[in-house]
Amino acid sequence: MIRQKITFLLFLMLMLSTSVFSQVKTTIVENVNATKAGLVHVLNRTGDTIILKSSSSIYRFSFLYHSQKESVLMDLDSKEAKIPLHHFEVGQYTVVAYREDAVYPISLNRVGAITKPIDAIADLEEDVLRSSLSIEEQRKRNIKPRHNASSDTRLASVANKSKEAAEAKEREQRALIKRAAEDTARKNQALAEAKQKEQEQRELIKKEAQEAARKEQAIAEAKEKEQRELIKKEAEAKSKQEHALAEANRAKAEREKAERQLAQIEANKQAIKERALAEKRREELRAIAEAERKEADARIANVQTVATEDNKHEKKEVKYNISVIQDGSVEKQTREEYRKENLRPNGLPYED
């Protein structure tokens, strides 16, 4: 019976391989960073299984179905993972491998239908664990090996009960693992939301700080502008005041200059007047002197006439200039005698 099943499975696999080669069912896009980090991600020959091989342990992986926005998350903790793709419908997926160093997303496109194997395991998590882990590792994780149906009908009841118990225990175990994974996913989701909220809070604080800085800058610019306007007004007022003072000084200087010119004109007039008075006085003095000279000449002439009458017995021809007569015949009056007997033309006595 077992041999027949094996033969049938081999025949079925041959048929599936033939159909796979005739039609592409799945495509995968290489993540260069993941490859550099030692994470191999390829499809098997038939394209119905994705194989992950890592240099370090893959502690978790997830499937994100783009059209439905749903994700499947499960823990693995193994360096190798084999994920049967018949669990997933045709569409775009993102497979995310979680390692201690980083998270590596891998794009996957299911383009053709994959026939579900006859002995396929319905539960994705169990199917992945059984495909990925060795028998020893499965035993360590309390994953019971799968048994074929016994031909001994006498032990069927016991086998069924044992199988049901094992399946119940296995389901319980899977439920525990699933709950733990869901708890971890919720924690991760809560942590991501907290980080997102913290990031939003930081962004809000940053925006508020930027807004406050802009307001402070606007206030500072307004104050600076007001200060510049005040300084400008003060400078203009000072300039006007200095200009007014300069105009006042200029007017004062012009007024003082005009006053000095008027004073000079008056002084010139006074000087001219004084010169005229002096000239008039000199003319008067010259007239007085001329009158005195004439009077003196008249007295001299009179004296000469008297002397002539006294000396009639000595008739002698006298020249006009008597000063040339030096023979003693004419009595001459000396200067000293004249000055003692007469005054100056200005009426003042002669001084020796």
* Secondary structure percentages of the chain, helix, strand, coil, to 5: 60, 15, 25
Upper half-sphere CA count for residue 214 (Cβ side, 13 Å):
6
Any idea which residue has 């002397």 for tokens?
307
User: What pLDDT score was predicted for residue 21?
Assistant: 43
Interior angle at CA 252, CA 246 and CA 253, nearest 5: 90
Per residue in 149-187, is it b (16+ CB within 10 Å) or e — as a string?
eeeeeeeeeeeeeebeeeeeebeeebeebbeebeeebee
Distance, in Å, from the CA atom of 124 to the CA atom of 141, rounded to the nearest integer, reads: 17
Instruction: Give the relative orientation of helices 124-132 and 156-310 as an angle to the nearest 10 degrees.
Output: 90
Collapsing DSSP to helix, strand or coil, 311 comes out as coil
Q: Which residues neighbour 293 within 8 Å (Cβ) at sequence distance 6 or greater?
A: 345
Q: What are the domain boundaries of the chain?
A: 2-151
Spatial separation of the C-alpha atoms in residues 74 and 181, rounded to whole Å: 6
Q: What is the pLDDT of residue 106?
A: 92
pLDDT at 151: 42
Amino acid in position 338:
Y
Q: How far is Cα 112 from Cα 14, in angstroms, rounded to an integer?
A: 18
- Give the model's pLDDT for residue 330: 62
- Regions of the chain where pLDDT drops below 70: 1-23, 147-164, 166-167, 306-331, 352
pTM: 0.37
Hey, CA dihedral for 203, 204, 207, 209, is it positive or negative?
negative
Spatial separation of the C-alpha atoms in residues 25 and 19, rounded to whole Å:
10
